[in-house]
Chains A and B, each alone.
Chain A
Amino acid sequence: MMRAAGMVMIVAACSGLGFRQALLYSRRIKECEQIARSVQLLLGEIRFRHLPLEEAMRRAGMVESGPFAVFLGRLAGRLSGCDGGSFYALWQEELEVYLGQSLLGEEAELLRYLGQQLGQFDLEAQLGNLSRFLDQWRMQTEELKKQEERKGRLYRYLGVFAGFFLVILLM
Chain B
Amino acid sequence: MGREEEVTRILAVNLRRILEKTTIDFGQLEEIRLRVDQPFMVVCGGRKNFVSEEGMFCSGEEAHRVALPEIAETVDYISSYSRYAFEEKIRQGFLTIQGGHRVGLCGRTVAEDGRVRTISPITFLNIRIARQIPGCGRRVIPLLWERGQLCDTLILSPPGLGKTTLLRDIIRLLSDGTGGQACMVGVVDERSELAACCQGIPQNDLGSRTDVLDGCPKAEGMMMLVRTMAPQVIAVDEVGSEEDCRAMEYVMNCGCRILATAHASSLEELGLRPVFGRWLSERRFGRYVLIEKEREDVFYRVCGKDGLTLWRGRRSEK
A-to-B contact residues, CB < 8 Å: 46, 50-55, 79-80, 82-84, 86-87, 119, 121-123, 125-126
Interface residues on B, range: 10 to 19
Report B84 CB to chain A, min CB distance, Å: 4
Question: B118 contacts A122, CB within 8 Å?
Answer: yes
Q: A82-B10, A83-B13, A84-B13 are in contact. Are A53 and B87 (CB under 8 A)?
A: no
B-to-A contact residues, CB < 8 Å: 9-10, 13, 73, 76-77, 79-87, 118, 199
Cα distance, A53 to B83, chains bound together (Å): 10
Q: A84-B73, A122-B118 are in contact. Are A54 and B82 (CB under 8 A)?
A: yes
Provide the residues of chain B in CB contact with A126, threshold 8 Å: 84
Q: A82-B10, A84-B73 are in contact. Are A122 and B82 (CB under 8 A)?
A: no
From B77, B81, B118, give the contact of A119 (CB < 8 A). B81
Provide the residues of chain A in CB contact with B86, threshold 8 Å: 52
Q: A52-B79, A86-B76, A87-B76 are in contact. Are A125 and B13 (CB under 8 A)?
A: no
Question: A87 contacts B81, CB within 8 Å?
Answer: yes
Provide the residues of chain B in CB contact with A125, threshold 8 Å: 84
Most buried by B among A82, A83, A122, A125: A82
Question: B81 contacts A52, CB within 8 Å?
Answer: yes
**Can you offer 10 A-B residue contacts whose CB atoms are under 8 A?**
A46-B84, A51-B85, A52-B85, A53-B80, A80-B80, A121-B84, A122-B83, A122-B87, A123-B84, A125-B84
Report A56 CB to chain B, min CB distance, Å: 8
From B13, B73, B80, give the contact of A52 (CB < 8 A). B80
Question: B10 contacts A119, CB within 8 Å?
Answer: no
Cα distance, A83 to B82, chains bound together (Å): 16
Provide the residues of chain A in CB contact with B118, threshold 8 Å: 122
Provide the residues of chain B in CB contact with A84, threshold 8 Å: 13, 73
From A51, A54, A123, give the contact of B81 (CB < 8 A). A54
Report A131 CB to chain B, min CB distance, Å: 14
6 new A-B contacts, CB < 8 A, other than A79-B81, A123-B84, are A46-B84, A52-B85, A84-B13, A86-B76, A87-B81, A125-B84
Cα distance, A80 to B79, chains bound together (Å): 11
Cα distance, A52 to B83, chains bound together (Å): 8
Report A11 CB to chain B, min CB distance, Å: 55
